[in-house]
């Protein structure tokens, strides 16, 4: 991981919407800080990506609020929902797009790609078309 962070320009920090993920996130951020200080001062945090989100779980909603409160502008608007197709794709040796392009998980990752491109001014996609609608959103 340290070698990857040393070679990278930026990093996306995934945060599972579960309790122990918050502890792991803190340790990862410490590692990123050490790499920035000693090996790669140009390394930036692209954003915090909330993953494995299930709106039915109170804990998931609490984690989302905690992360958004603590990291504010660093949190991506896109959230990756818990999705069966996301779990199946690797077992078939496929990306989520190849496995089931119409799944909620695929749509979430396409939205993330659009958001990153737009954030870095690398697309001509108008704001009105930035997000592909998904069935479930966070209130």
> CATH number for the domain including 62?
3.40.50.300
Residue 122 lies inside a defined structural domain of this protein: yes
Domain count along the chain: 1
| Cα gap 26→15, rounded to integer Å | 10
The model carries a pTM of 0.84
pLDDT over 60 (residue 83): yes
Of residues 29, 135, 19, 25, the one with CA closest to residue 79? 135
Residue ranges making up the domain that contains 25 = 2-129
Mean pLDDT of 105-117: 92
Query: What is the rounded CA–CA span in Å between residue 47 and residue 71?
Result: 9
pLDDT on residue 137:
46
Instruction: With a cut of 60, say whether residue 22 has pLDDT above it.
Output: yes
Q: From the CB of residue 10, how many other CB atoms can be counted at a distance below 10 Å?
A: 13
- Is residue 139 in a domain? no
Answer whether residue 138 is part of any domain. no
Residue 120 lies in a domain: yes
In a domain, 135, yes or no: no
Q: Compute the average pLDDT of residues 87-94.
A: 92
User: Is residue 35 in a domain?
Assistant: yes
pLDDT of residue 89: 93
More confident: 124 or 113: 113
pLDDT, tens digit, 9 for 90 and up, residues 36-80 = 999 999 999 999 999 999 999 999 999 999 999 999 999 999 999
C-alpha dist (Å) from residue 124 to 114, 130, 135: 10, 10, 25
């Amino acid at each position: 991981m340290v070698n990857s962070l040393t070679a990278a320009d930026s990093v996306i920090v995934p945060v599972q919407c579960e309790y122990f993920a918050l502890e792991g996130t803190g340790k990862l951020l410490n590692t990123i800080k050490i790499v920035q200080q000693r090996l790669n001062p140009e390394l930036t945090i692209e954003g915090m990506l909330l993953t494995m989100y299930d709106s039915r779980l109170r804990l998931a909603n609490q984690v989302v609020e905690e992360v958004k409160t603590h990291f504010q502008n660093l949190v991506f608007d896109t959230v990756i929902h818990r999705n069966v197709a996301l779990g199946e794709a690797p077992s078939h040796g496929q990306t989520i797009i190849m496995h089931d392009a119409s799944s909620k998980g695929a749509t979430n990752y396409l939205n993330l790609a659009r958001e990153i491109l737009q954030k870095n001014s690398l697309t001509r996609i108008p704001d009105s078309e930035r997000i592909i609608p998904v069935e479930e959103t966070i209130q």
